[in-house]
Structure 1
Amino acid sequence: MDRLEAMRLYTRIVELGSFTAAANDLSLPRATVTHAIKRLEERLGAQLLQRTTRRVRTTRDGETYYGHCLRLLADMDEVETDFREALVQPKGHLHVDLPVSLARLLVIPALPDFFARFPQITLDIGTGDRFVDLVREGVDCVLRVGELGDSGMVGRRVAMLQQVTVASAGYVRRHGQPDSLAALQDGHLAVNWVSPTTRRAEPLDFLVGRKRRAIALPGRVSVSGVDAYLGCCEAGLGIAQMPRYRIADGLKSGRLREILPACPPPSLPMTVLYPQQRQMPARLRVFVDWLVELTAAQR
């Protein structure tokens, strides 16, 4: 029995707590299992297991060796999987969750390209901005915009979304277009965005050089939904800040006007979150890589 096989055998004994159970699980004679562990302990010069009449337990050295075995075997499995998957198309089903506007305006229009590249992958797409318990709900990954708290998930930043300060053409006709932050605070209104987390209205943010400047403007309406936020801005109810991709058509048509382009809002991080796992499935890896490629143009 070579060293890798002995390591696999040892980990099964630890996990099952029994020489006999491990032998049955691996279809090996009980004597072969006993002899292999004896040889392993002799080679390492340490006792790994304590045998009792009812159960096998690890010694302190055995527990340390078990951790090393898990890492080495996982690395070997990952290498072999990578080679196998390089020869075949990734396949399987993915359950993903995306913000509503990102799904509608950015991701879904590009899905024909994804499916052309990976015809054996299918997607189940949920949309929303709520907290998703990936493990409990069986979700493979979520795409989120903005700063994130500690969720215990693995996060991969895929883009920094450029933001724009805008107002409707009607608003600009009525209130004028401010040419400085001082002018902005002289009689202008905001569509106030209420954070779903803190339930407080957030100020408008501007970058003056490398410094961040927050300005709170009065407003007649406050919202906590992205579609309502844009709708109120288009209706002329005040100034708003949002990612450029969401309002590209409105800027192009003239329905919306950019305000203070020399002092843009800070960019928003866009992050893919997925559960911690030693070996990421190929279907998830190619989907995340595709999202990185797709959103590169939005940086």
Structure 2
Amino acid sequence: MTPHAWLGEPVDARGSFGPERAALLELLRSVEPGQWRRTALPGWSVRDVAAHLLGDDYARLAWMRDGHDTGAAPRPGEAFEAFIHRSNREWVEASRRISPPMLVETLELTGGHVARMWARSDLHAVGRPVSWAGADPAPLWLDCARDLTEYWTHRQQIRAALGRATEGTPPAPPVPPVVLDTFMRALPHTLADVSAPAGTRVRVVVDDQAELAWTVRAASGGGWEMEHRLPAAADPAAQVELDAATAWRLCVRAIGPAQARSRARLRGERRLAEAVCRMVSIIY
């Protein structure tokens, strides 16, 4: 088995960074002066979320393009998740002197650099850890796709703060399949502590967007692995059916597992289906 084969077929998100940044810039240019202070996340305004994305751009370009890796580091004994949250908070607080117009101008500049960097990247190289997928290190294709989902998720949070429909909720566009596909790579890690006989299959279906589906299988050596193509004769032991809006909100913890279960249709072995509803695809 090739390294990281349990994560399934690679997701190629490289071509999505340019369009995603264009959508963000269009959104930010429509923000009225009084709307920049609206709450987008607990403790963060619309302006703060935009500044956070700029920090993401700078950090990725510094490390991956420029080989500059002397930024913030965990303190002794500091958990990785706590370090990420702290460094994000410190950046946002330090950047509050940057005006919204300057943020938008700079995001246009750095967004172009990020899109060109990813376009030239080798998806089979080694990337940084993706903790929610249990991959340390992660293949670069997952590291890349994870970055795209972060940009996309924060744009949805800004849309919601402005009172606009988020993607997956009409009249907004559908959730991009590449975003859902990336989020679902958390499935093997989500089920890691769930025991089942080798060959047991669990399927997740997003039923309002062209019947997108993902299957994980209990591996013979333990753990779970992605199996994108469910054999025709292989009925899953459990299946979770949900709409795209519920799926992405669960994965970024905009809703919790209990709310996701109440919205989803759970079929087959209950404990397996309920375990799927614990899935999270962000550092949480």
Query: Higher Cα Rg: structure 1 or 2?
Result: 1
Q: Which has the bigger relative contact order, CA under 8 A and spacing at least 6?
A: 1
What is the TM-score of this pair, normalised by structure 2?
0.24
Give the number of the structure whose residues are more often helix, by fraction: 2
What is the TM-score of this pair, normalised by structure 1?
0.23
